[in-house]
């Protein structure tokens, strides 16, 4: 009898547990917290040889003004010091007096004359600070020289502030230096420039767009695919690039303009309309894991040039912070948060649901450790503007060699390049098309809905107009699936078009794979259920099977 009572009691407990579980399952699921992180990073140079009117005092007073405004709004932030500014007594006094716990002091990795000579090396520059890639950046030095330069900076920084800096930023920083700073000095975060082509002689093209990533040990611009092959220092992308316009800036030229959150640009970071639009999309757009942007400005632009934009942005950022819509952190804090949360580079997105002014353009950037993709809606149509693949097998040009020219270039593996493969008259892209009344036309539709149904997954639903149904795209870190949901299987496909003189990487277009070669590395994009159809031996069409298409962008993906 006692045995039966025990069984009965146990069954009752199990039933109660199952009922409670069922009730819990019916409760609304609390949305995942996705922080919108703002780093205010101002980096400091001692001198500006390009503009005689920009004296050392003008540069110093610019930093004084930045400090005053940030203190006024109680905004946390990071100041990164170039070596010559680090050794200046005025900056030492100013930065040591900052409120404890509010500000971080770190390193800005441009290489001036005093740093080079203290490392026992010969200065080759035209001025005491020379911005050319083979002089003013670590890429211009051998691996042994890079270590000597790092030791000089870190030793003197510690002598001045009593500790080693935890963050080191630069327009670009080589992988050898970054790994050395991590292993010997235990830095926790770094930063590099936004994607740009030819600007100031520096090209960074095809990388993890915005947010942050763990770089490959062989290539600081390329995310690693596996933890054992990555430098465990997240690199945050700087400058708050315009997700809609920056990519297209400069068609037909050798360099791009700048459309960013930097306060000196009157049509972007210096415009109240643009800044309010940017932060509204930043707060409301789907980021998957977290959204990130960097505000602030280097002192070389001077306070007169940046004051309007700075004074527009800082109170707005403070307001959003007080409303708990954004988190304002130092770069070190963001780096420690990232490292505590992610063992490898996560999949993230940048979503613009509505463009500024009367424009109807919308865009989504998807990033993972394997690839990036950009979708652009314009005039009711849709195209992939960009798809680049990442590979930890591709070494940087500067891994073992120093750059000998005054420019630097960093690339990833192209599959669609809507900038380099375009001219002003012929805009490249992978376009969504269909057949209506026997004619090939662009698919047209309404406003897309962008959601994050599960970790690492992005879903886009686009209501169609010229054929019935919804076009559904599901991204994950290795692949993309596309289908049209409706009563009948829709006749749709993707066409790649490029300008006539575009230099393409494609070697072979087979039925289930496009094989390519770029910078000496072979790579492929494959499909298990669609078809690649060659056109003119160079371009291709992608056809789905029974309305469904899966595309693998990771070389290790199997089907």
- Cβ atoms of residues 523 and 513 within 8 Å: no
d(CA 207, CA 213): 10
Look at residue 127 in the predicted model and tell me its pLDDT: 96
Look at residue 208 in the predicted model and tell me its pLDDT: 98
**494, pLDDT greater than 90:** yes
Look at residue 290 in the predicted model and tell me its pLDDT: 97
**112, pLDDT greater than 60:** yes
HEC string of 11-50 equals HHHHHHHHHHHHHHHHCCCCCCCCCEEEEEEEEECCCCCC
- Using only the alpha carbons of the chain, give its radius of gyration: 26
Look at residue 7 in the predicted model and tell me its pLDDT: 41
Look at residue 255 in the predicted model and tell me its pLDDT: 84
**50, pLDDT greater than 80:** yes
d(CA 199, CA 470): 40
What number of CA atoms fall less than 13 Å from residue 67's CA on the CB side? 20
Exposure letters 294-332 (e unless 16+ CB within 10 A, then b): bbbbbbbbbbebbbbbbebbbebbbebbeeeebbbbbbb
Look at residue 466 in the predicted model and tell me its pLDDT: 85
**528, pLDDT greater than 50:** yes
Per-residue pLDDT tens over the stretch 412-468 = 999 999 999 999 999 999 999 998 888 999 999 999 999 999 999 999 999 999 888
The end-to-end CA distance of the chain, in Å, is: 58
Which ranges of 37-87 does DSSP label H, i.e. alpha helix? 56-72, 83-86
- Cβ atoms of residues 211 and 290 within 8 Å: yes
Identify the H or E element spanning 88.
Answer: none
- Cβ atoms of residues 187 and 108 within 8 Å: no
The sign of the dihedral angle between the CA atoms of 401, 404, 406, 411 is: negative
Per-residue pLDDT tens over the stretch 157-171 = 999 999 999 999 999
Identify the H or E element spanning 172.
Answer: none
Look at residue 488 in the predicted model and tell me its pLDDT: 56
**28, pLDDT greater than 80:** no
**145, pLDDT greater than 60:** yes
Structure tokens at 164: 């080693």
Fold classified for 36-349: TIM Barrel (3.20.20)
Look at residue 536 in the predicted model and tell me its pLDDT: 67
Per-residue pLDDT tens over the stretch 287-330 = 999 999 999 999 999 999 999 999 999 999 999 999 999 999 99
Looking at the chain, the whole-number percentage of residues with pLDDT higher than 90 is: 85
Look at residue 469 in the predicted model and tell me its pLDDT: 87
Provide the whole-model pTM: 0.92
Look at residue 491 in the predicted model and tell me its pLDDT: 85
Q: How confident is the model at residue 13 (pLDDT cuts 50, 70, 90)?
A: very low
CB count in 10 Å sphere of residue 26: 7
Look at residue 12 in the predicted model and tell me its pLDDT: 43
**269, pLDDT greater than 90:** yes
CA-angle at 96, arms to 95 and 102, nearest 5°: 75
Mean pLDDT across the chain: 92
The residue among 10 and 95 whose pLDDT is bigger is 95
> In angstroms, what CA-CA distances link 437 with 258, 466, 468, 488, 545?
43, 11, 14, 16, 21
Those residues with Cβ within 8 angstroms of residue 214's Cβ, 6 or more apart along the chain or in another chain: 223, 224, 227, 230, 231, 232, 233, 234, 235, 342, 344, 345, 369
Where in the chain are the domains? Answer: 36-349, 421-552
Those residues with Cβ within 8 angstroms of residue 285's Cβ, 6 or more apart along the chain or in another chain: 291, 349, 350, 351, 352, 353, 450
Look at residue 250 in the predicted model and tell me its pLDDT: 85
List the single range of 105-114, 357-366, 459-468 with lowest mean pLDDT.
Answer: 459-468
Look at residue 557 in the predicted model and tell me its pLDDT: 45
Look at residue 556 in the predicted model and tell me its pLDDT: 56
């Amino acid at each position: 009898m006692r045995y039966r009572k025990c069984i009965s009691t146990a069954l009752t407990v199990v039933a109660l547990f199952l009922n409670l579980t069922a009730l819990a399952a019916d409760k609304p699921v609390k949305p995942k917290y996705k922080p919108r992180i703002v780093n205010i990073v101002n980096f400091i140079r001692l001198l500006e040889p390009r503009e005689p009117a920009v004296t050392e005092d003008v540069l110093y007073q610019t930093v004084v003004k930045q400090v005053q405004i940030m203190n006024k709004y109680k905004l946390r932030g990071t100041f990164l010091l170039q070596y010559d500014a680090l050794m200046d007594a005025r900056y030492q006094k100013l930065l040591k007096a900052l409120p404890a716990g509010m500000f971080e002091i770190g390193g800005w990795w441009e290489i001036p004359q005093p740093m080079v000579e203290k490392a026992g090396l010969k200065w080759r520059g035209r001025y005491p600070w020379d911005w050319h890639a083979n002089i003013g950046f670590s890429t211009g030095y051998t691996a042994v020289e890079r270590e000597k330069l790092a030791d000089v900076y870190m030793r003197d920084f510690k002598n001045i502030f009593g500790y080693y800096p935890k963050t080191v930023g630069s327009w670009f920083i080589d992988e050898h230096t970054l790994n050395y700073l991590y292993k010997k000095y235990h830095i926790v975060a770094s930063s590099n420039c936004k994607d740009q082509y030819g600007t100031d002689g520096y090209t960074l093209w095809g990388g993890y767009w915005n947010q942050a990533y763990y770089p490959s040990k062989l290539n600081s611009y390329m995310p690693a695919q596996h933890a054992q092959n990555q430098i465990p220092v997240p690199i945050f992308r700087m400058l708050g690039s315009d997700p809609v316009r920056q990519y297209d800036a400069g068609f037909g030229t050798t360099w791009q303009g700048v459309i960013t959150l930097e306060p000196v640009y009157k049509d972007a970071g210096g415009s109240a309309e643009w800044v309010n639009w940017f932060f509204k999309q930043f707060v409301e757009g789907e980021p998957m894991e977290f959204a990130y942007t960097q505000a602030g400005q280097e002192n070389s632009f001077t306070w007169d040039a940046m004051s309007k934009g700075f004074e527009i942005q800082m109170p707005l950022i403070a307001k959003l912070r007080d409303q708990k819509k954004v988190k304002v952190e130092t770069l070190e804090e963001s780096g420690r948060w990232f490292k505590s949360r992610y063992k490898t580079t996560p999949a993230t997105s940048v979503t613009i649901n509505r463009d500024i002014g009367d424009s109807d353009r919308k865009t989504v950037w998807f990033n993972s450790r394997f690839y990036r993709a950009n979708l652009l809606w314009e005039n009711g149509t849709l195209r992939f503007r960009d798809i680049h693949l990442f590979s930890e097998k591709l070494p940087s040009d500067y891994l073992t060699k120093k750059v000998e020219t005054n420019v630097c270039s960093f690339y990833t593996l192209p599959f669609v390049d809507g900038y380099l493969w375009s001219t002003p008259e012929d805009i490249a892209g992978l376009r969504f098309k269909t057949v209506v009344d026997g004619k090939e036309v662009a698919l047209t539709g309404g406003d897309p809905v962008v959601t994050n149904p599960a970790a690492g997954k992005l879903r886009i639903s686009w209501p169609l107009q010229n054929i019935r149904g919804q076009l559904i795209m599901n991204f994950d870190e290795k692949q993309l699936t596309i289908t049209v949901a409706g009563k009948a299987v829709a006749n749709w496909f993707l066409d790649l078009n490029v300008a006539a003189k575009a230099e393409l990487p494609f070697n072979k277009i087979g039925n289930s794979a496009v094989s390519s070669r770029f910078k000496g590395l072979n790579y492929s994009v494959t499909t298990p259920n669609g078809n690649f159809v060659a056109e003119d031996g160079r371009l291709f069409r992608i056809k789905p099977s029974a309305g469904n298409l899966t595309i693998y962008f990771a070389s290790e993906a199997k089907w």
